[in-house]
Chains A and B, each alone.
Chain A
Amino acid sequence: MSVLAAPEIHIEWSALAPVLIVLGAAVVATLVEAFVPRQARRLVQVPLALLSVAAAGLVALQLALTASSSTTAAAQGNLAVDPMALYLQLAIAACSLLGLLVIADRTVQGEDAFAPQASAVPASEYEEQVRRAGWTQTDVFPLVLFAVGGMMLFPAATDLITLFVSLEVLSLPLYLLTGMARHRRLLSQEASLKYFLLGALASAFFLFGAAWVYGATGTLNLYVIQISVSSVTGLSPILVVGAVLILVGLLFKVGAVPFHAWTPDVYQGAPTVVTGFMAACTKIAAFGALLRVIYAMVPGLEWSLEPVLWTVAILTMVVGTVVGLVQKDVKRLLAYSAIAHAGFILVGVTAYSLEGLSGSLFYLFTYGISTVGAFGVLSLVREVDSDGHMRGEATGLDQWRGLGRRSPLLAGCFAIFLLSFAGIPLTSGFVAKFAVFGAAFGSGAAALGIVGLACSAAAAFFYARVIQVMFFDSPPDEEVRLTTVGPGIGVRTLGFTQIAIAVSLALTLVLGIVPGWFLSFTEELSSLLMLTR
């Protein structure tokens, strides 16, 4: 446990294997960019990325299944390899594997989601030349791998500095990826810049908070802070304020109100394939870190921090739901839905009990899977202009009118994802909501549970509206079609995205219809974690 000067550096290679595989692959992928000829890069990058993430997931699964109740403190006590960390690494690997499939996909014309050359000025001569030459930006694969590596470290970090480093490792590639959309590049670059500036601000708050906590306790290790908190009688305001500032940094990443403002703009501006990956995996990683901080550092502080978490949870649910009701763009709608869901998960986190932890872990995985699937569908629905050319994604709700008739399969899949987000029985979303709200009722936070139920009932309304638009509204008639941008229609691709959608659809239904085995899995992991606390 000692974080003080250790004479010999000892690294637990096997326990850290999932992270090491991904980060190692990321380094190799960077070298590929430097040394492999342009034409062959994609052929190398795609399998490398997919295989390394899959391998990391399998190793994490193996470690999770054999996990004992004792926490392995790895890397000089800076990382915890415990059931929760392994479970979240597995969830991140699963979601990013699906996300990578969507990212690697391209249309039958060979067009992927990214700008041919991100450094080219939008609408410049150079950009046009590059586009004609058919270049593609394969740097996205190492970037994604670095992000995944950071995400996997994030929930395992038990030291404020390690936590900060992994936060930055996961964030920086995401800022870049956000700015690389092929279509609507200005929107994409604007989103990237906003995300970067606000992310930097949030990181500053985090660091500031870490400094205050260090000042109050003289240590950066979460578990040592916990011990020093319980030994101090009368909490120092410095410690409490520091803890709040650390929470702010993490709440920013999960998109909780009032630190959510970036979410709609970034979700809308980023390439849709990146949005899906980011929405699913960042949420899992950031909530993982939040759970770690709350369960490791906060004991002793919970009475002070509870009102803060209550306020944020209620605000997040209400704002996400209410503002979601008026959205006219499918991507922004899903962004507000993501905010509302962050609030629902916060209810489970705030419940601060075995059921709450287990419910939150279940929720994170199922929500991540459904999110990747939903954004996968979104990435396939493209505008057709009057000449019949495929253009960028059709994200306007109007363009989705009658999609159920043009692309029934896509619309049907999307409807099921939406039903899951709405929490309708027989989908994983229902079980997840039941788990977290049930935990709230069970731990004396019934008021939070009731607000959550009311919000999810209201949120169901905007999901139902999308379903209604897809299946019941008639498509825009010919006249409208010629004067405005065309209606959305499913695009033909290599089929990677369809595989990802099929897998996430299957998981959404399986975890909705027979959730028992998975619930008992998360519950077992949570009880191991509670034991060690």
Chain B
Amino acid sequence: MTENLVLAAAEVTPAASAAWLVIAIPLVSAGILLLAGRLADKWGHLLGVAASAASCVVACWVFFAMLAQPAAERAQDVVLGTWIAGGSFTLDLGLQIDQLSMAFVLLVTFVGTLIHIYSIAYMEHDPDRRRFFAYLNLFVAAMLTLVMADSYLVLFVGWEGVGLASYLLIGFWNYRTEYAVAAKKAFIANRVGDVGMLIAMMIMFSQFHTLSFSGVFAAAAHASPATLTLIGLALLLAACGKSAQFPLQSWLGDAMAGPTPVSALIHAATMVTAGVYLVVRSGPIFEHTANARLAVLIVGAITLLYGAIVGCAKDDMKKALAASTMSQIGYMMLAAGLGPVGGIFAIMHLLTHGFFKAGLFLGAGSVMHAMSDQVDMRRFGALDKFMRVTWLTMMAGWLAILGIPPFAGFFSKDKIIEQAFVPPDGQPWQAWVFGLVAMLGAGITAFYMSRLFFMVFQGKARWTDGQHPHESPPLMTVPMIILSLGSIGLGLVLTLVKFDEYLAPALVEGHHGEPVLNQYVIMGSTLALVVIGAWIAWVKFGTKTAVVPVLPPAADGLVRAARADLYQDTLNNALLVVPGQALVRGTTEVDEKVVDGAVRGIGALFQSIGSVVSRLQNGYVRSYAATMLAGVILLVAIVLAVQG
């Protein structure tokens, strides 16, 4: 099937050749909004929405034109021109139009448009609303570049673009220091991921002399397993940075500092799932390296449990949702590591998650709108009667993420859990470990999501003084209602239209294995765990008699650890920040002072000059000269040692 991917460049349909418009429209709009400045304040948001909607319409056209083709000819590589034509390195600038990229494109443009509409009302009182829409458009354009790229290099352009847009949007309210700190944290984690991406590209470039998907995948079939494992691990590092996976997950919770529509679009539905896309897209590489696949599985499994545990203890509504996003992407990553069949369910879960998580975030934004921007769930409760639409749409999202049939999450998550029980590469122990982790994760998910839902909407009102909760305006509720329809029905619809058969041609061929447990046993036990988790949450937080303290009560070690993100920040601090600062301090000191101290006694030659000229700058010429001399001695010693 790999050969199929390589030879897939069939004739380009008119619709596909217009696919570049999908990216160009929001990009141009972002340019106009940024350059026009204050002139565009009156109509800027409308242009932003129109651009996103137009992009969605073009995407639909391209999609349906693609569906009209026979399944084997759907994948098209639309070459727009030659980008780089060096002697040893040629790269066409092109778009990959296939089942995988189009599924993602539709998600990005459709959910993106809804969130644009929602933002009109949400950002109404912000003086910089135009700039906000410019960044959103920029993000959409970059995200579409990422998923429609036909080479790793073009993908990387989009990859950096979404990183930049995310950075700008997290720091949008940059006059608040903690938000600027959050933006910085996201920046660092993303840079670590970028190094992974660059290393992967460098290895591909030096080994295969190409960066296009078709070229790399063709070469991967003949490459050595060691090379492929290295590439796979580097790609995984990149995916971890972008998708907030262990051990680079700490930035996602802080990124919630940005405006809520941003959390919905970037940090739930689209950008953070780019890592999953990358791993699934690079299937032909991971196919040949069981070690890298195992690493993906481990990262996914750790993150899904990690996010779930952290989610149980968070009182900040958005941070609890962020932990849940992390955990759900862990599921996707796990599925992506299971091979091509898992990859299909990873993408399916990515789509359903895009809808229900975006819906949950927009619901959270609506609650914040009603409660004067508070996020502490301990000060909510009993909001169901005041915000009927928000309550119902969030209920749809809640049931979807729990995986209650027939809501969307059931069809995608249950499949992932079932697939996790299939022994990969004939290794039953893996099936038991990852299957049980995935199942356990579902139970914990049920607990923390129910906790969130009940603390916000049920129980007794624990509001701070002077709150007058009210339903949000239609510009906000309509997008929420549309997304909730997706939360309810998308899973069923995707199953009915046989999404797995649709997507399969875009991936390498996989074979369906048998799970180590009967699939109905798996489904039944998962549902039982989910119901138990939700019931515990109901007893503790949902009933009218449940007592929820307005201040977090004293708790045992595990809860304290979960509240502190399982000490990830402390660990990062000890492992990275402190040594990093020591390195900076040490190097700076050596660079500026130490040599000076060492030669103060023998620097008589430069003494007079030094004392005259050293008033303004802290460096003495004599110490600079001594550094040079030491350097010369070092280099000569090295060279003689090698000689010897």
Contacts and interface: CB of A to CB of B under 8 A. Distances in A.
Nearest to B614: A190
B195 A453 contact: yes
Interface string B584-604: 100110010000000000000
B631 A244 contact: no
B638 interface: yes
B583 A519 contact: no
B191 A259 contact: no
Interface residues of B, number: 62
B587 A319 contact: yes
B613 A241 contact: no
A472 B628 contact: no
Interface in B599-644: 606, 609, 613-617, 619, 621, 623-625, 627-628, 630-632, 634-636, 638-640, 642-643
A237 interface: yes
Interface residues of A, number: 76
Interface in A474-533: 474, 514-517, 519-520, 523-524, 527
B588 A323 contact: yes
A460 B191 contact: yes
B625 A304 contact: no
Interface in A305-342: 305, 307-308, 311-312, 318-319, 322-323, 325-326
Given A186-B616, A442-B206, A318 B587 contact: yes
B171 interface: yes
Interface string A352-372: 001100000000000000000
Contact of B157 (A245, A319, A426): A426
A67 to B, nearest CB: 16
B83 interface: yes
B187 to A, nearest CB: 6
A307 B88 contact: no
A193 interface: yes
B191 A323 contact: no
A425 B175 CA distance: 28
Interface stretch (B196-204, B411-419, B462-470): B196-204
Contact of B192 (A258, A424, A457): A457
B87 A244 contact: no
B597 to A, nearest CB: 15
A248 interface: yes
Contact of B84 (A244, A248, A519): A519
A252 B632 CA distance: 11
Contacts of B206: 438, 441-442, 446
B534 to A, nearest CB: 43
A261 interface: yes
Interface string A196-222: 011001100100000000000000000
Given A516-B86, A523-B86, A259 B631 contact: yes
B64 interface: no
A457 B191 contact: yes
A312 B636 CA distance: 12
Contacts of A520: 85-87
Contacts of A240: 639-640, 643
Contacts of A454: 195
Contacts of A186: 615-616
A438 B84 CA distance: 15
A197 B82 contact: no
Given A258-B630, A515-B84, A523-B86, A311 B180 contact: no
A441 B202 contact: yes
A440 B616 CA distance: 41
A237 B87 contact: no
Contact of B174 (A261, A453, A472): A472
B614 to A, nearest CB: 8
B621 A248 contact: no
Nearest to B197: A453
A190 B205 contact: no
Contacts of B198: 437, 453
A186 B614 CA distance: 11
B194 interface: yes
A304 B642 contact: yes
B87 A325 contact: no
A311 B628 CA distance: 14
B188 interface: yes
A324 to B, nearest CB: 10
B499 interface: no
A93 to B, nearest CB: 24
Interface string A178-206: 00000000110011011001100110010
Contacts of A517: 85
A262 B624 contact: yes
B73 interface: no
A325 B588 CA distance: 10
A464 B187 contact: yes
Given A205-B632, A441-B206, A457-B194, A305 B171 contact: no
**Which 6 pairs of residues, A with B, have the shortest CB-CB distance?**
A258-B631, A442-B206, A261-B624, A441-B206, A519-B86, A516-B84
Interface of A: 186-187, 190-191, 193-194, 197-198, 201-202, 205, 235, 237, 240-241, 244-245, 247-248, 252, 257-259, 261-262, 265, 268-269, 303-305, 307-308, 311-312, 318-319, 322-323, 325-326, 354-355, 424-426, 431, 434, 437-438, 440-442, 446, 449-450, 453-454, 457-458, 460-461, 464, 468, 472-474, 514-517, 519-520, 523-524, 527
7 contacts: A312-B635, A441-B205, A453-B195, A454-B195, A514-B83, A519-B86, A523-B88
Given A237-B640, A323-B584, 16 more contacts: A187-B617, A190-B614, A193-B613, A198-B624, A201-B625, A235-B643, A252-B628, A268-B617, A308-B638, A319-B587, A434-B201, A457-B192, A468-B174, A515-B84, A516-B90, A527-B87
Interface of B: 82-90, 153, 156-157, 160, 164, 167, 171, 174-175, 180, 187-188, 191-192, 194-195, 198-199, 201-203, 205-206, 583-584, 587-588, 591, 606, 609, 613-617, 619, 621, 623-625, 627-628, 630-632, 634-636, 638-640, 642-643
